Structure 1
Amino acid sequence: MAAAAPLPPRIRRTLELVYGVPGVTAARVWQWHNCVAVGVRPSSACAPAELLGRVEAAVSGLREADETWDFGLLDA
């Protein structure tokens, strides 16, 4: 089986920051054109809306002025 291609540095850094937020049990990041989407699965001890706010704050430094970022919850 072939090894997976390495993640682009920006996606890897986004995942590092997202997984650094307490309460995140899973995360996915998608990027296309000027859009980035971040999906997270919260732990049972976290309020989903509050967690999304903390995730958004954690990655705010990566945002470019011309980009749209969306945040949401992953299905269990």
Structure 2
Amino acid sequence: MATKFTLDDLKRILREGAGADDATDLDGDIADRDFEELGYESLALLETGGRIEREYGISLDEDALADARTPTALVDLVNSHLTARAV
């Protein structure tokens, strides 16, 4: 299992699960942009959270997932769970 979740991992999962429309540039500087601004609504983020849970073997709280409004916040949330699991 992976011990570190990166922004590139998140971008891959977003593309695989929720897709990316022509207006969304995931290759740009998205780290601190709000997911809604990037075109990802709550259902897309729930799907993304589910994919992360299955791939990384963690369980994300729905409230914490909803509070992670930017890619950086979601990456930090996932890494906190990976760190806790490793201890």
Fold match by TM threshold 0.5: no
Larger strand share, 1 or 2: 1
Larger Rg: 1
Larger helix share, 1 or 2: 2
| TM-score (norm. length: structure 2) | 0.36
Greater relative contact order (CA < 8 Å, ≥ 6 in sequence): 2
